[in-house]
Amino acid sequence: MVSVTSSRSGAAATTSAPHTAKDAVSSLVRRLARSPAFTTRQLSTSLQRLSRRRAVAIALALAFCVSRGNEVAGPDLSFTLLYLGPIAFATWFGSMRAGLVLSAASAMASLTSDMGSRKIPLSTAVVAWNVAVQLGVFFALSALLSALKGRLELEQQLARTDPLTLVANRRAFVELAGIELERSRRTGRPLTVAYLDCDDFKIVNDLLGHAQGDALLCKVASTLRGATRAVDSVARRGGDEFGLLLPDTDGPTSEALVQRLRAALGASMKEEGWAASFSIGAATFVTPPRSVDDMLRHADQLMYDAKRSGKDGVRFEVVGLEPALSAGVG
């Protein structure tokens, strides 16, 4: 009884991957046919969301279709170019390893189709040469695409990273704020946004030099990153201003966290001998705001209120309660 059950489960596991790949391809084709307005950008976004396993399964299904076509067409037609599509798909949306494995499998499938349909067999040397050429082309494509993808990912990361402090830049912060706002709308959980400005940063820059000013900014970034959770986001908005995104953080929790950050920043400034303090504004949204701009504008206003009321000040506000709760700490 045990052996029968195992064999059936093994057969189910063997047949599930092709069905999954076939269903994914069919779903994509049906979606394209039903929606004429389905743009290239939307298609690209959908493909980027594919898991590696599903992407490789789709590539295998495509390669299988090409090999069947190669077998039906016979040895007189070369299908080398058609094999490049599945290999490129596996490399770009899967991995270089998947592309290389599929390259070898495609070369073997092409060889099998060619030898099976030839009435007069080719010599061993010719067969070896043909396989070597195909493998060379397939491997080269996979390697080049993998290198290109790595370069593009690096460029995208650099475009979202502040080059001095190595935390997120303003552009990335706004994108992350949009993501967290949508998540807050789905889950109903509170979201806190905090802005902070370094008081008298210009004085430190002028008296101690730009190198010390840059070191101060890097210290602020590392202190914020070290004192926040992994789910929190830290960004440099520009100049001496930083931003924090604190998901699933209510009013009392945000106050405790900001006060802890304030103490950590004060200790790090004192340790380095910098006479710098921070003005902080933190807005906790119990109900999601209308837009990212409204959310960030609220935190920005609180920060400037704290700065105008004196150095080293903090302003808190809970938005979405009636009436809104606000507090200030000198």
Residue 299: which of 254, 262, 264, 239 has the closest Cα? 254
The one-letter amino acid code at 129 reads W
Q: 10-47 b/e with 16+ CB inside 10 Å = b?
A: eeeeeeeeeeebeebeeebeeeeeeeeeeeeeeeeeee
N residues, the chain: 330
Contact between 199 and 207 under an 8 Å Cβ cutoff? The reply is no
Contact between 330 and 308 under an 8 Å Cβ cutoff? The reply is no
Residue 296: which of 195, 220, 228, 224 has the closest Cα? 195
Beta bridge partners of 196: 242, 280
How far is the C-alpha of 287 from the C-alpha of 300, rounded, in Å? Answer: 18
Q: 113-124 b/e with 16+ CB inside 10 Å = b?
A: bbeeeeeeeeee
Distances (CA, A) of 326 to 81, 212, 250, 329: 66, 36, 13, 10
Distances (CA, A) of 222 to 126, 233, 243: 62, 12, 13
- Rounded to 5 degrees, what are φ and ψ at 291? -155, 170
* Annotation marks residue 240 as catalytic: yes
Select which of 162, 197, 232, 240 is catalytic.
240
Contact between 251 and 189 under an 8 Å Cβ cutoff? The reply is no
SS3 255: helix
Helices (H), 160-209: 170-187, 201-208
Q: Which residues are catalytic?
A: 240
